[in-house]
Structure 1
Amino acid sequence: MSPRDLIRSTPLRLAAAFALAIVLLTGGVFVFVFEAATASRISQLRAVFVDEARKAAASDDARLRRALSLRLTRDFRRLNYVALYDSSGRLLFGNLDRKPDIPADGRSHYLPDFRLTAESEPEPTLMVARARLDGDVIVLGRSIAEVDLLRSILGRALSFAILPVAAGALAMGFFFARRTAARIKDIDGAIAEVVNGDLRARLPSRSGLDELDGVIASVNHMLDEIERLMSQLATVGDNIAHDLRTPLVNVRAILDRALAEAPRGSSLRPPIQSALRQLDRAMTAIAALLRVSAIEREHRHSAFAEIDLAGVCAELREFFLPLAEAKGVSLRLDAARPVIRKGDPDLMREAVANLIDNALKFTPRGGAVRVSATEEAGLAQIEVSDNGRGVPAAEVHDIFRRFARATNGADLPGSGLGLSIVETIARLHGMDLVLADNAPGARFKLTERSATGPGKA
């Protein structure tokens, strides 16, 4: 699988989605926990300041000043603010130059941009102002900038922690994507073998511990049953064909003897000769059926070797050239370069020979048959075309069925099994047999399904 296909693969997408989910969930949990902890901390500070302001308002002046002085000297980080103002707003004691713009209602107030002095940096602060019985106002405050600082520190820590987790999730996704892609490729290869007609092929399984292995086991069991039923069906057909061939041979021998003994001019000779022709046709059909069955049953991949498809076409052109000349049909070859593929040489010759024989049979005197072997976009292609009778448009999809014959060729000899044999051989070699209109005539193409199919060298 190419890197581009791997990136588009489902396992890698799931890994990316999982990594994103980790980032979002972790970030969400962080925000929730931090905000909950911050809200709890601020709530505690508010309660403490409100209580301290209440106690300070009830204290006498000397005790209050002493408490405020202790408050200032104990906080070396200057996070606490304390001040005592008279009724006119003049500072009596504390570290605040000016009175904060908050009501003296004894409640905590949040000031997002409080400055201790005009030159100092703004910082978020909680403040409480409360009026005393003598008219003075006590102010207590605390900077909560450490909350923002903590948020920044934790945010950086979270980002550094999430990145490795996300990268690890993507790496695992990439690993499992490659593993899954390789497994799917193996399964696809096995399916291609089954599609090509090898019912003995089975999907590869591994541990048997995941759902895919369960599906593979079911598919393989289904293929076992299909192979068994097809084997029984083929055996029945073969047995019937063999059983019919023997009596047909006997009947033909009897008719041959009767024809030899019948005097010339006898009225029995024409029906005997007609019966012999029908018997020959039946025996040809039986032989073709047995041939198709043998090809489908044997799946002779073990006999595959490197063959030159262009060479096969050239060899068959030489073989059929005398027949073509006798019929007055031009037989041309277009195979400029070798097309090397793996295949069964005898079966490939048989397939191309059937196509050439059909083309010559349906092409009238003066016509032309063209045979070509080419390679387009990495795919091998063999084409046999003629300018003869062609195939009626309504019968194009039926012409490959066994015993099917075009209506415009009923007067010519044939069993209706030649194209079925060609299609079976093509399927065994990972090729498709396609019929197209040659206007006039027909064009049969044997086209390789993929450059990595069974026929690829």
Structure 2
Amino acid sequence: MHKSVLRSTPFRLTLALGLAFLLALALAGMVAFSLINDALYARLDRDIMDTYSVIEQSFVGDDLTDLADLVTSHTRASVGMNEVFRLEAPDGSQIAGNLPILPASEGWATVAAPEIGLAARSDTYRIFSGPIGQYRLAVGVSLTETNAIGWIVLTSLAWTMGALVLVLLLVGLATAIRGQRRLDSVAETLERVSRGQLDARIPLSTRNDDIDALAADVNGALDRLAALVEGMRQVSVDIAHELKTPLNRLSISLDNARDASDGQPEVLALLDEARHEVHQVNSIFEAMLRIAQIESGARRARFAPVDLGTIAERVTEAYEPVANERSQTLELALSPSAVIVPGDKDLLTQAVANLVENAIRHCPEGSAIRLAVADADGSPRIVVSDDGPGIPDGDKLRVFDRLYRVEKSRTTPGNGLGLSLVKAVADLHGATVTLADNQPGLRIQMAFVHRE
């Protein structure tokens, strides 16, 4: 049984209401048992008194023989000592009956069998004794049958409560499981939205209850969010598309101006610098268009099983000479077994290349860079770590923003879109990217969804 079901609000609410109902039932059962028990004892007392009165009324004119015969007749009618009688003479001797010893006092008494001379029995007796002329008469009945009836009533109540507990648990579980499924669908939808699938919506049922009303409100908010994000994305794409053509024309014009400059060094230097800046602007727009394409989810249709180890090997092979030129070391650590994830091989390769390239670019000479692929407890991950200067804590949450750069002077190469592209690729693949201190240096991890 899933723990979330036991912790769910429907299950707890069902249990709370069920416990309240059981408590009320238990109190009502106690009252009913007490009333039934009192009624049984009252009826028993009436039967004893009726028998006593019948015997008492037979004593007319000091006729001891008729009195003794009647007591003997009742005694013989008793089955298994269920009823006891004793007619006692003034000197304490027994005249008739099956009761060896009378209770100590007259009137009503509830005594155990051994106290009245019935040592072989474990019953409890209800006895009434009183004078009849100069004699003394006792009439009693065993409480075994009465107690048995009370026990049957008590057992019936207990079984009823047990059955109700079982029904409540089953109803609670059924309600909780059904409610949890609907809540899970809400959580799954929101998780998909957080991964960039802005078209995900919460499915509605036909019950039109409060959860459906909430789901409809959330879906409406997601519609507005998707429209807003799509509008912003479209504006970025439109700007990039609109400016690429003038920039290309500008690049061509600069090439023509360079050809017509008659080889003047000063002019050539200025034109080359202008061409470089135009190339940088073009690179920024191309990167922004690529990020917009990734975020649209269009590449998800190309997903296929990808070996992360193979990607890491290719990136290491491509960037190891670059690292060596800067007197850096690029180390590769692979999992003993293949680490396969569903994804776009080209995008994952570009994301890993961006992480390694960033480490090489921002680490000084002599730094050690490590690219690792692991599969910890079924959770594939790629880790790029170094012993360079790292990233300040205040910037770690912003480095994935577009065009954001830790170096405010912007004197080093880069456009502030490398990690933005990594984040877009990770979101497309349902992975999370985290930054942590490597003490010293930086450790960037891309962790994919847990595999069963």
Query: Taking structure 2 as the reference length, what is the TM-score of the superposition?
Result: 0.80
Q: How is 1:58-457 mapped onto 2 (pairs within 5 angstroms)? A: 60=60, 61-62=62-63, 68=71, 71-76=74-79, 78-104=81-107, 108-113=108-113, 117-132=117-132, 134-153=133-152, 188-208=187-207, 211-258=210-257, 260-262=259-261, 275-335=274-334, 337=336, 338-407=338-407, 410-451=410-451
What is the letter of the counterpart of residue 353 of structure 2?
A: A
* Deviation of the 1:351 alpha carbon: 0.5
Describe the shift of the 1:423–1:17 C-alpha distance in structure 2 as closer, same or farther (beyond 3 A): same
Describe the shift of the 1:394–1:161 C-alpha distance in structure 2 as closer, same or farther (beyond 3 A): closer
Cα distance between partner residues in 2 of 1:226 and 1:396: 25
1:64-109: per-residue Cα shift (whole Å, max 9, x none)? 55654554454445433333334443434433333221235xxx33
1:267-320: per-residue Cα shift (whole Å, max 9, x none)? 776666555544433332222222212111125322110111111121222333
Give yes or no for contact 1:309–1:340 (8 Å, CA) kept in 2: yes
Cα distance between partner residues in 1 of 2:54 and 2:377: 92
* Deviation of the 1:371 alpha carbon: 2.3
Q: Which is worse superposed, 65-74 or 116-125?
A: 65-74
What is the letter of the counterpart of residue 196 of structure 2?
A: G
Cα distance between partner residues in 2 of 1:45 and 1:151: 13
* Deviation of the 1:416 alpha carbon: 0.5
* Deviation of the 1:343 alpha carbon: 0.8
1:304-341: per-residue Cα shift (whole Å, max 9, x none)? 10111111121222333454455454433333643221
What is the letter of the counterpart of residue 395 of structure 1?
A: D
Partner of 1:46: 45
Give the secondary structure class of the aligned counterpart of 2:234.
Answer: helix
* Deviation of the 1:391 alpha carbon: 2.6
1:21-62: per-residue Cα shift (whole Å, max 9, x none)? 898777665554333212112123334545665676576344
Cα distance between partner residues in 1 of 2:388 and 2:88: 117
Q: Which is worse superposed, 222-231 or 288-297?
A: 222-231
Cα distance between partner residues in 2 of 1:285 and 1:392: 25
Cα distance between partner residues in 2 of 1:440 and 1:33: 76
Give yes or no for contact 1:332–1:371 (8 Å, CA) kept in 2: yes
Partner of 1:455: none
Describe the shift of the 1:202–1:70 C-alpha distance in structure 2 as closer, same or farther (beyond 3 A): same
Query: Taking structure 1 as the reference length, what is the TM-score of the superposition?
Result: 0.79
Describe the shift of the 1:389–1:253 C-alpha distance in structure 2 as closer, same or farther (beyond 3 A): farther
Aligned-residue RMSD, C-alpha: 4.0
* Deviation of the 1:348 alpha carbon: 0.4
Give the fraction of aligned pairs with identical amino acids, expressed as a percent: 26
1:350-393: per-residue Cα shift (whole Å, max 9, x none)? 10121122222224455443322222232222222344443344
Give yes or no for contact 1:348–1:425 (8 Å, CA) kept in 2: yes
Give yes or no for contact 1:196–1:430 (8 Å, CA) kept in 2: yes
Give yes or no for contact 2:33–2:154 (8 Å, CA) kept in 1: no
1:115-147: per-residue Cα shift (whole Å, max 9, x none)? 664444132222222334x44333222222102
Cα distance between partner residues in 1 of 2:402 and 2:275: 23
Describe the shift of the 1:224–1:112 C-alpha distance in structure 2 as closer, same or farther (beyond 3 A): farther
* Deviation of the 1:397 alpha carbon: 3.0
What is the letter of the counterpart of residue 355 of structure 1?
A: L
Give yes or no for contact 1:22–1:166 (8 Å, CA) kept in 2: no
What is the letter of the counterpart of residue 40 of structure 2?
A: R
Describe the shift of the 1:87–1:225 C-alpha distance in structure 2 as closer, same or farther (beyond 3 A): farther
Give the secondary structure class of the aligned counterpart of 1:200.
Answer: coil
Give yes or no for contact 1:372–1:384 (8 Å, CA) kept in 2: yes
Give yes or no for contact 1:398–1:404 (8 Å, CA) kept in 2: yes
Unpaired segments of 5 or more residues in structure 1? 453-457
What is the letter of the counterpart of residue 371 of structure 1?
A: L
Cα distance between partner residues in 2 of 1:163 and 1:437: 58
